[in-house]
C-alpha cells in the first residue's frame, strides 16, 4: 500500500529540490502517493492566500508532509508559513540531526561531529505576542509553559534512550530569565531524573555557543527553548557545511512535516543549480518515520557515497554539478 504524503514544493529553488527529492524517494522502491499543494509566495500569487486551506485539507488526509523552502518577506506583516504550520498543527518538536558528510571539506572536517537538536517549536518569543507600548517603544512577550517544556524534554530523553545516545544538555538563560527559562530548566531536570542512565548537563546559551565552536565533537543531544534552538540549529549547521546540508523535521502527536531549513534562493531559481541534499536528508528522516528504515538507510548511504566520491557535487559544496546530475548520481547508488 502506498504512503500518502503531502508535497509542498515552496518558492524559489523549492520546486527543483522537491522534485529531485521525490525522484530519490521513489527510487528507493517505497510506494508513495504525492498530494502536491502550494504555500508561500507562489500560493499567494496564484490564490491570494499565503497559506491556503488546501494545505491543511491535504495534511488532514496524509498527516505527513515533505516541504521545500518557503519565502517570507521580511518586515512585511506576513506571518511565517513555517511558524504558522507548527503552531496550527501543534508540531512541538523541531528535530535536527547534525552530522559531517564524508568527503565534505569544512573547517571542522576532521572532527567526529554527530549531534542532535531538540528545539521546542510552538512558544517562547515565537508566540507572536507583540504590541506597541508607546511611540517608538515595542514589546514582545516570551511565553514558556510547563506543558511544552515537559514535552520537548521528554522527546529528547526518549530519543536518547532509544538511539543509544549518552548525553543530553539543556540550553538556557535562567541566570537572567529566572521565571521563564527557570521553568524550562526545572522541567528538564524533572524529566532527566527518569533517565538515570543518560548523562545530563546544563549550559547557559552564550557559553553553549562558544563551546559548540571550540569543541563541537563533545556534544550529543541538545534540548532548547524555541529562540535559542533556532539560533543554535543554524550555528551547528555551519559546522558541517551549512543549511544546504542538514535535514529538519517538525513532529507532533498527529502530524509531521519534514523540511529543508535553508532559504528559497530566488537568485538561482530555475537554473537547476540548487543542492537538494538538505531535503533529501529530510526525506530520509521521513522514511524512517514511516517505518521504512531499510529505504531510509539506503538513501542516506547513497547520499554519502556521492559526497565521498566528490564527482557529482553542486557548486555550493565545491563541485560543478547541477541539481539533476547530483540527483542522478544518488539514484545510481540506490540502484
Tell me which long-range contacts 76-82 makes (C-beta under 8 A, separation of at least 24).
Answer: 78/50, 79/50, 79/51, 79/128, 81/39, 81/40, 81/50, 81/51, 82/259
Say whether pLDDT at 71 is over 80. no
The overall average pLDDT reported for the chain is 94
Helix (H, G, I), strand (E, B) or coil at 333: helix
Q: How many residues does the chain have?
A: 335
pLDDT at position 76: 52
Q: Say whether 126 is catalytic.
A: yes
CB 20 within 8 A of CB 276: yes
Mean pLDDT across 167-192: 98
Query: What are the pLDDT digits (tens) for 210-269?
Result: 999 999 999 999 999 999 999 999 999 999 999 999 999 999 999 999 999 898 988 998
Question: Domain range holding 328?
Answer: 1-104+242-335
Mean pLDDT across 167-172: 98
Catalytic residue among 67, 124, 126, 181: 126
| Class of residue 119 by CB neighbours under 10 A (exposed 0-12, middle 13-18, buried 19+) | buried
CA 109 – CA 143 distance, rounded (Å): 38
Count of structural domains within the chain = 2
Q: Say whether 234 is catalytic.
A: no
- Whole-structure pTM value: 0.92
Query: What are the pLDDT digits (tens) for 98-145?
Result: 999 999 988 898 899 999 999 999 999 988 889 999 999 999 999 999
Helix (H, G, I), strand (E, B) or coil at 217: helix
Domain boundary among 239, 265, 296: 239
Q: Report the CATH number at residue 131.
A: 3.40.718.10
Q: Say whether 159 is catalytic.
A: no
Same domain for 100 and 111, yes or no, is no
pLDDT at position 81: 82
Strand (E) or helix (H) holding 239: helix 226-239
Same domain for 160 and 95, yes or no, is no
CA distances 104 to 99, 143, 214, Å, are 11, 39, 20
Catalytic residue among 11, 19, 181, 230: 230
Domain boundary among 222, 239, 256: 239
Catalytic residue among 173, 181, 228, 307: 173
Catalytic residue among 45, 53, 110, 206: 206
What is the CA angle 245-249-255, rounded to 5?
Answer: 155
Domain boundary among 216, 239, 262: 239
Top-confidence residue, 84 or 166: 166
pLDDT at position 87: 86
Amino acid at each position: 500500500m502506498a504512503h500518502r504524503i503531502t508535497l509542498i514544493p515552496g518558492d524559489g529553488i523549492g520546486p527543483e529540490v522537491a522534485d529531485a527529492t521525490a525522484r530519490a524517494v521513489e527510487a528507493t522502491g517505497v510506494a508513495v502517493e504525492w498530494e502536491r499543494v502550494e504555500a508561500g509566495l507562489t500560493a499567494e500569487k496564484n490564490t491570494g492566500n499565503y497559506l491556503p486551506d488546501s494545505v491543511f485539507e491535504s495534511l488532514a488526509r496524509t498527516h505527513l508532509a515533505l516541504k521545500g523552502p518557503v519565502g517570507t518577506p521580511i518586515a512585511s506583516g506576513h506571518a511565517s508559513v513555517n511558524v504558522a504550520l507548527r503552531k496550527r498543527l501543534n508540531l512541538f518538536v523541531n528535530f535536527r540531526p547534525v552530522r559531517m558528510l564524508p568527503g565534505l571539506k569544512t573547517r571542522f572536517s576532521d572532527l567526529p561531529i554527530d549531534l542532535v537538536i531538540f528545539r521546542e517549536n510552538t512558544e517562547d518569543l515565537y508566540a507572536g505576542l507583540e504590541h506597541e507600548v508607546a511611540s517608538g517603544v515595542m514589546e514582545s512577550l516570551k511565553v514558556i509553559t510547563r506543558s511544552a517544556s515537559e514535552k520537548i524534554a521528554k522527546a529528547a530523553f526518549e530519543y536518547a534512550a532509544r538511539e543509544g545516545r549518552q548525553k543530553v544538555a539543556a540550553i538556557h538563560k535562567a541566570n537572567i530569565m529566572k521565571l521563564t527559562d527557570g521553568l524550562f530548566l526545572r522541567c528538564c531536570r524533572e524529566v532527566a531524573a527518569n533517565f538515570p542512565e543518560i548523562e545530563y548537563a546544563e549550559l547557559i546559551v552564550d557559553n553553549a555557543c562558544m563551546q559548540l565552536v571550540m569543541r563541537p565533537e563533545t556534544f550529543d543531544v541538545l534540548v532548547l527553548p524555541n529562540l535559542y534552538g533556532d539560533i543554535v540549529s543554524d550555528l551547528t549547521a555551519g559546522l558541517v557545511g551549512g543549511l544546504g546540508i542538514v535535514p529538519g523535521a517538525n513532529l507532533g502527536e498527529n502530524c509531521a512535516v519534514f523540511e529543508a531549513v535553508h532559504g528559497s534562493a530566488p537568485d538561482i531559481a530555475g537554473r537547476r543549480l540548487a543542492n537538494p541534499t538538505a531535503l533529501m536528508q529530510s526525506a530520509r528522516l521521513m522514511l524512517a518515520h514511516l517505518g521504512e528504515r531499510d529505504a531510509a538507510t539506503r538513501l542516506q548511504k547513497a547520499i554519502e557515497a556521492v559526497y565521498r566520491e566528490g564527482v557529482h557535487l553542486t557548486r555550493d559544496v565545491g563541485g560543478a554539478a547541477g541539481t539533476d546530475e547530483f540527483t542522478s548520481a544518488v539514484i545510481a547508488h540506490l540502484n
